[in-house]
Structure 1
Amino acid sequence: MKALATKLAVFTAVTLISALPVLAGENGMGMSSGDNYQKDECLLVAQTCRDSVDTIQQRIDRLSKEIGKGTSVYNGDELKRLNSQLQDATRTLEMLISNGA
Structure 2
Amino acid sequence: MKRAIMLVTAALLMTTSTGVFAEQTQADRNECLLLSRNCKDQVDDIYTRMQRLEREIQKGTRVYTPKELRQLQEKLAETQEMLKDMEKPGR
**Structures share fold, TM-score greater than 0.5:** yes
Distance in 1 between residues matched to 2:87 and 2:57, nearest whole Å = 24
TM-score by length of 1: 0.59
Q: Greater CA radius of gyration, 1 or 2?
A: 2
Partner of 1:73: 63
Correspondence for 1:88 among 53, 74, 78: 78
Pairwise CA distance, 1:50:
2.7
Length, aligned pairs only: 66
TM-score by length of 2: 0.65
- Show structure 1 runs of 4+ deviating over 3 A: none
Superposition map of 1:8-87 within 5 A: 37=25, 38-46=28-36, 49-87=39-77
What are structure 1's unaligned runs of at least 5 residues?
Answer: 1-35
Kindly report the root-mean-square deviation, in angstroms, between the aligned alpha carbons of the 2 structures: 2.0
What are structure 2's unaligned runs of at least 5 residues?
Answer: 1-23
Distance in 2 between residues matched to 1:57 and 1:98, nearest whole Å = 16
Identity value in percent: 38
Q: Deviations over 1:29-84 (max 9, x none)?
A: xxxxxxx9400010111467132100111110000000000011000000000000
Structure 2 residue matching 1:99: 3-state secondary structure: coil
Q: Which of 1 and 2 has higher RCO (CA within 8 Å, sep 6+)?
A: 1
Q: Residue type matched to 1:73 in 2?
A: V
Pairwise CA distance, 1:100:
5.4
- Structure (1/2) with the larger helix percentage: 2
